[in-house]
Amino acid sequence: MRRSLASAASAFLVALPLGAALVACSVDASSAPPADADAGNVDAPCEEGASRCDGDRIATCAGGVFGAAAPCEGESVCRDGACRAPTDAQLAQAAELASVLEYVREETAWHAPIDWDALRVDGRKRVLGGDGSDLAYFTALFHAFVAVPQGHQGLYLARGCGKLVPYPDRSQRGACGRPHARGVVVTSVKANNALGLKVGDLVTRVGDASGGGVLEALAERPMCATSRPSASYRDATTAATFSDLLLPGEEILVESPDGATRAVKVPDAPLPGALGSALSCQDPFSRSTAVPVEATLRPDGVGVIRLPGFLDPQQPFPQNPTEESIAAYRAAFQAKILAAFDEVKAAPAIVWDVRGNGGGLTLIGLEIASGFPGARAETISYCRARVPKSDPPAFDSFRYAEYALTPGGPFAYAGKVAVLVDGLDYSAADYFPLAARTRTDAILVGAPTAGGYGATSKMKLFDGPPAFNVSVDSNRCAAADDDAPLEGRGVIPHVAVGYEPKDLAAGTDTVLERAVAELE
């Protein structure tokens, strides 16, 4: 049965990041208890015998001053000036977090060593050191979950994504961003957005974090999340979601494209409005993902084909799919892409824009890449399934999803080709650039892809509260060249380039223009 399922999976393995299939949510706050305002000031006058909290430790007043803080006994933590034992609810949360880690440990295909005991201990400490709220618990779950980088794994609230914590790659505050060396650059906004941001603005400070530390700090804040197989994906999804990760009342520093700076206070209110009305940040410019494909011919004669995804938003994906129904779906979708290709195939050069492409049918991407100049018929990759609960992890010998190009075909093209990529390219949108870079003469421009090559295998609902789903990926996919696991190895572009604030403000796509220049 495993072999037949794997054979069917090879036709459409690696669909979408988990956020597209599950209900999501997100929040931004720390589970650590707040320290008293004067914590750490050992010289502050105090009443003999009084106590106060310094983090989760307790300090006692002696001789008119607070001494060094000491740990509470057992698993008690300091809160509201006294050591307090964990509640029954917190103990239940810590036990459930441990069961989540065990579920992932028994099923994930992640190939590198993980200290599961350390994750469990840290998770328990976060839970018991929190205030017992849903947010404190989800924050602890989030940190444990993202420590396992296997792609196609997800942590999503059954209800509350977009309220308790942010939904990834969306903005209820109406501003999307992308990573920048000095913080987060704003690439798309809604008019009159809650932060008053404009396209081309650069967020250079968030709270106490500045420059390169902005993304690092925001990445620690919990959101409903797909696992983070690479640093490129982590930074891309964090920057895309940045405006909803900001804390109410927090101050950020914004630099305009002309160099002027201004401080902006985040509204005190929680995330506004319904998730359905949020600005989509999957595409850097919030271009529609409801169109299957777009083709344009630039004034300079270069053709541009944009593929928002490798699934067709205009036709429902088959329920209980068979090889026949998948083939029919694929043929209908591919016909639309081919029609777009026909519009520009007389151009001397074509740019395929797959930035923000969440994946779908891998074979469609391989069909397109087979037409690129220099395409070579060589095996690219293969996958094997983990034996459930094997310890240490063992994998079936059967190889499925063995991908290769077939040079020529309906997308055959003799001109020059560039492919635009970024950190939100996931799954099938990892395989497409991988094939283009390793088996064709096309050039890749942009940022490394996500590096998530498997497929969601199982999903389990945990009761909480709050209730949440955890998905796991049991597929170990490897490169045919060296048999090394592909997971976490995003495809590196030939030309690394990001977005320039002045270009964005002027309506210029820095990445596209660089690709066109490379094709000259």
Q: Is residue 351 part of a domain?
A: yes
Helix (H, G, I), strand (E, B) or coil at 408: coil
Three-state secondary-structure class, residue 141: helix
419 forms beta bridges with 352, 444
State which H helix or E strand residue 197 sits in: none
Q: Give me the number of domains the chain comprises.
A: 1
The CA distances from residue 510 to 83, 222, 343, 371, 503, in Å, are 55, 31, 24, 26, 6
Residue 72 resides in a domain: no
Report if residue 459 sits inside a domain: yes
219 is a domain residue: no
Q: How far is CA 313 from the centre of its chain?
A: 21
pLDDT of the chain along its 520 residues, tens only?
333 333 334 334 444 444 444 333 222 333 333 334 344 444 558 999 999 999 889 999 999 999 999 999 999 999 889 999 999 999 999 999 999 999 999 999 999 999 999 999 999 999 999 999 999 999 999 999 999 999 999 999 999 999 999 999 999 999 999 999 999 999 999 999 999 999 999 999 999 999 999 999 999 999 999 999 999 999 999 999 999 999 999 999 999 999 999 999 999 988 987 898 999 999 999 999 999 999 999 999 999 999 999 999 999 999 999 999 999 999 999 999 999 999 999 999 999 999 999 999 999 999 999 999 999 999 999 999 999 999 999 999 999 999 999 999 999 999 999 999 999 999 999 999 999 999 999 999 999 999 999 999 999 999 999 999 999 999 999 999 999 999 999 999 999 999 999 999 999 999 999 999 999 9
Residue 448 domain-assigned? yes
Provide the CA 378 distance to its chain's centre, in angstroms: 30
Q: Is the pTM of this model over 0.75?
A: yes
Does residue 349 form part of some domain? Answer: yes
Task: Give residue 409's domain range.
Answer: 294-519
Tell me which DSSP letter residue 366 carries: H
Give the CATH number, domain containing residue 416: 3.90.226.10
User: Does the residue 125 lie in any domain?
Assistant: no
